[in-house]
Amino acid sequence: MTILVIAEHNNAVLAAATLNTVAAAKAIGGDIHVLVAGSNCAAIGEAGCKIEGVSKVMVADDAAYAHQLPENVAPLIAGLAKEYSHVLAAATTNGKNFLPRVAAQLDVDQISEIIAVESADTFRRPIYAGNAIATVQSSAQIKVITVRATGFDPVNAEGGSASIEQVSGTGDAGVSSFVGEELARSDRPELTAAKVVISGGRGMQNGENFKHLYSLADKLGAAVGASRAAVDAGFVPNDMQVGQTGKIVAPQLYIAVGISGAIQHLAGMKDSKVIVAINKDEEAPIFQVADYGLVGDLFEIVPELERLV
Amino acid sequence: MKILVTVKRVVDYNVKVRVKADNSGVDLANVKMSMNPFCEIAVEEAVRLKEKGVASEIVVVSIGPTAAQEQLRTALALGADRAVLVESTEELNSLAVAKLLKAVVDKEQPQLIILGKQAIDSDNNQTGQMLGALTGFAQGTFASKVDMEGDKVKVEREIDGGAQTVALNLPAIVTTDLRLNEPRYASLPNIMKAKKKPLEVLTPDALGVATASTVKTLKVEAPAARSAGIKVMSVAELVEKLKNEAKVI
C-alpha cells in the first residue's frame, strides 16, 4: 500500500496543511510519496524531502502548473494515481478545487474533509455543517480523499530523508488561464494554523472597530477571524471568514467577540479547545458552546482584556 | 447562449438536524426542506446574465426525489425558462450526480453550467469539479464574480489567501460562492406563471447512467457535545481563568 499526498504550496513555501495531510496518510499506514506540482518549485521539493515519514518526493516543474489550475494538474495527478492505493490532499480551497476532478477522471467517488482514520478504507467526516459525523467505507481501488487539517496533528517538518524524482505530465490543457490574484497581506499568524484566534462579528459595527481585535491579537500572537455577517457587511475581507463556507479552525483558544453563534459559524470553530464568548446578548447561542462567557459591551471588555493579558 | 443551472433539495439551512437513534442517518421526516442556498445563488446569477442579454435560455435541472419539483418550480419562479428533473429515490453520491448531469449536458449542449459550490447537507464540494472532468470543460469554482468576455468567461474565485481571477474557454463550469450575489425573492405572479412553465421528468435508466457507488455510509452519529461552560463576571476573572484554569494564555 502506497499513499500519494499532493503538496500544498505557493511555489515558494510549503503550506503547513501538507504536514497534517501526511499525518492522515501515516494514520492510514504504508509508504508515503509526495507530489509537488508547480513552477520553479525546487525549494518545495527539498522541503518535502525533509518531512518526517515521507519516502519519495516527485516534482513536476512546469509553467502550466504554476497556479495549480485543475484542468492542468488533475490529469497529472490522475496519471500518477494508478500506482497508489490512496490519493490525499489538504481540504484547502486548492485541494477542494482539483481533487474531485482527479477522482472523476479515475471514476471513483471522493471522500471529502475526513477528520479521522478508522482503517485503511474507513474514515469519519462531518456532514450537515458538523452537526453529524458520518463513518464511511470505500471499496474503490484508489481512495481519493481530502483531509481537514484541524483533524490531524501535523508531522514533523524536519528529520525525513526522502529521495527526489522529477516527473512530467501533459502540461497545459489549453482550456483555462490564470489572470491575476489579490492576496490579503498580514503579519499575524495564518488563521487555520494559529494557536489563538480572535473573531469579530456583526457586533463590531464597522471595519474600523476591528482595530481593537487586531491590537489584542498582536498582544496574544493571535490570528483574527470573522463571522459571515462581518464579511458581508464589508468590515473585513472574506478570506477571514470562519465557518461552514469559510475556514475551519481548531485553535487552543477561540475568542468570539460580538458573534451570535449561528450553526454555520459554529461549524468552523466548535472543535477549538477553549472557547470564550464576549457578547452583550446573554441569550446568544454562542454561550451554549463557550467555556467562558462574558456578558457585556465588547467596546469596554476588549480594551480591558488587552490591558490585563 | 444557453445556461444550465443545477439545484438541490436539502434541509433548510436554519434547521438544527437530529441524528436518528439507530445511527442510520439524519432524521428528515417532517423537517422543512428548501433549495440549497448555493444553488439559489447559481439561479440568481443565471437570471442576471439573462437580464444582461448574455443568456438566451436558462434550463434548471435537479436530481432527486419527486418532491424536488418544488425546488425546480421555485427556480422557474425566479426566472428560469424550463426545468428537468432526473428522478431518483436513491441517495446519490457526487460522482453519480455528475454523471447524470453529464448526460443532461450532452442532451442540452449549454455554453455555461452554474452549480453551487457545495450542498449544505453532504458538504462534499465535489459535483461541479467532477462534471468538469467528465465533460473536459474548464472550471471556475467558488466564484465571487462572473464576467463574459467574448468567447471566454472571466471568473473571480475566493481562495484561501484572498481572490484569484481565471479566464475559461466556453463551454465552462462555474460553482458559486456566497458572495457572488444576493438572490431575489420570487413574486406571487411569478410563482403563478412558473406553474405553467415546462418541467420534464427523466430517469437515470433513460439517460443510460449507472449510479452505483463505491462509498457507503456505515453510521451517522451526533458530534461529541461540548460541556456547558460558565459565565464570568469580569474581565479580570476571565483572564485569571484563561491563565490558571484553562492555561491557554
CB-CB under 8 Å, A175 with B26:
no
Per cent of chain A over pLDDT 90 is: 97
Whether residue A189 has a cis bond before it, omega within 30° of 0: no
Q: Which residue from A115, A145, A123, A108 is spatially nearest to A3, judged by alpha carbons? A: A145
Considering only CB atoms, B165 lies closest to which of A180, A274, A308, namely A180
Judge whether residue A156 has pLDDT over 80: yes
- What is the pLDDT, as a whole number, of residue A86? 98
CA A139 → CA A74, A143, B94, distances in Å? 22, 8, 16
Please report which confidence band the pLDDT of residue A218 belongs to, taking 50, 70 and 90 as the band edges.
very high
Q: Which residue of A has its CA nearest to B170?
A: A175
- What is the pLDDT, as a whole number, of residue B228? 74
Please report which confidence band the pLDDT of residue B125 belongs to, taking 50, 70 and 90 as the band edges.
very high
CB-CB under 8 Å, B98 with A104:
yes
- What is the pLDDT, as a whole number, of residue B225? 86
Considering only CB atoms, A136 lies closest to which of B95, B118, B218, namely B218
Q: Which residue from A217, A218, A272 is spatially nearest to A243, judged by alpha carbons? A: A272
Q: Which residues have a Cβ under 8 Å from the Cβ of B87 and sit 6 or more positions away?
A: B64, B65, B66, B68, B201, B202, B203
Q: Return the HEC string of chain B.
A: CEEEEECCEEECCCCCCCECCCCCCECCCCCCEEECHHHHHHHHHHHHHHHCCCCCEEEEEEEECHHHHHHHHHHHHHCCCEEEEEECCCCCCHHHHHHHHHHHHHHHCCCEEEEECCCCCCCCCCHHHHHHHHHCCEEEEEEEEEEEECCEEEEEEEECCEEEEEEEECCEEEEECHHHCCCCCCCHHHHHHHCCCCEEEECHHHHCCCCCCCEEEEEEECCCCCCCCEECCCHHHHHHHHHHHCCCC
Cell numbers for A293, please give them. 462567557
Q: Is A153 on the interface with B (CB under 8 A)?
A: no
Judge whether residue B227 has pLDDT over 90: no
Q: Which residue of B has its CA nearest to A275?
A: B229
How many Cβ contacts (< 8 angstroms) between chains A and B? 252
* pLDDT tens digits along A91-147: 999 999 999 999 999 999 999 999 999 999 999 999 999 999 999 999 999 999 999
Q: Which residue of B has its CA nearest to A305?
A: B235
Average pLDDT over residues B144-161: 95
Contact B7, B36 (CB under 8 A): yes
* Least confident span in A52-66, A70-84, A184-198, B153-167: A184-198
CA angle at B179 for the pair B161 and B122, rounded to the nearest 5°: 85
Contacts of A114 in chain B (CB under 8 A): none
Tell me which residues of chain A, numbers 155 to 214, contact chain B at a CB-CB cutoff of 8 Å: 174-184, 192, 196
Q: Which residues have a Cβ under 8 Å from the Cβ of B185 and sit 6 or more positions away?
A: none
Contacts of B120 in chain A (CB under 8 A): 128-129, 244
Q: In what order do the strands lie in the sheet with A110-114?
A: A110-114, A143-147, A86-90, A2-6, A31-38, A56-61, A163-166
Complete DSSP assignment for A141-186: SSEEEEE-GGGSPPPPSSS---EEEE-------SSEEEEEEEEPP-
Q: Which residue of A has its CA nearest to B179?
A: A232
CB-CB under 8 Å, B130 with A97:
no
- What is the pLDDT, as a whole number, of residue A134? 98
Contacts of B226 in chain A (CB under 8 A): 270, 275, 289, 291
Judge whether residue A18 has pLDDT over 90: yes
Contacts of A249 in chain B (CB under 8 A): none
* pLDDT tens digits along A53-106: 999 999 999 999 999 999 999 999 999 999 999 999 999 999 999 999 999 999
Residues in a beta bridge with A292: A276, B230
- What is the pLDDT, as a whole number, of residue B226? 85
Rounded distance between C-alpha atoms, residue A110 and residue A97, angstroms: 12
Q: Is A93 on the interface with B (CB under 8 A)?
A: yes
Considering only CB atoms, B218 lies closest to which of A137, A237, A289, namely A137
Rounded distance between C-alpha atoms, residue B249 and residue B233, angstroms: 19
Residues in a beta bridge with A181: B164
Contact A198, A163 (CB under 8 A): no
CA angle at B29 for the pair B24 and B30, rounded to the nearest 5°: 160
Considering only CB atoms, A101 lies closest to which of B130, B169, B222, namely B130
Rounded distance between C-alpha atoms, residue B181 and residue B41, angstroms: 6
* pLDDT tens digits along A37-48: 999 999 999 999
Rounded distance between C-alpha atoms, residue A165 and residue B218, angstroms: 39
Contact A223, A272 (CB under 8 A): no
Contact A81, A87 (CB under 8 A): yes
- What is the pLDDT, as a whole number, of residue A85? 98
CB-CB under 8 Å, B214 with A239:
no
Rounded distance between C-alpha atoms, residue A222 and residue A219, angstroms: 8
Tell me which residues of chain A, numbers 65 to 84, contact chain B at a CB-CB cutoff of 8 Å: 67, 69-71, 74
- What is the pLDDT, as a whole number, of residue B211? 94
Judge whether residue A49 has pLDDT over 80: yes
Considering only CB atoms, B166 lies closest to which of A138, A178, A264, namely A178
Q: What are phi and psi of A9, to 5 degrees?
A: -160, 170
Nearest chain A Cα distance for residue B152, angstroms: 9
Q: Which residue from A221, A231, A228, A245 is spatially nearest to A91, judged by alpha carbons? A: A245
Complete DSSP assignment for A40-108: S-HHHHHHHHTSTT--EEEEEE-GGGTT--HHHHHHHHHHHHTT-SEEEEESSHHHHHHHHHHHHHTT-
- What is the pLDDT, as a whole number, of residue B102? 98
Judge whether residue A184 has pLDDT over 90: no
Rounded distance between C-alpha atoms, residue A204 and residue A159, angstroms: 45
* pLDDT tens digits along B50-65: 999 999 999 999 999 9
Q: Is A30 on the interface with B (CB under 8 A)?
A: no
CB-CB under 8 Å, A247 with B160:
yes
The model carries a pTM of: 0.96
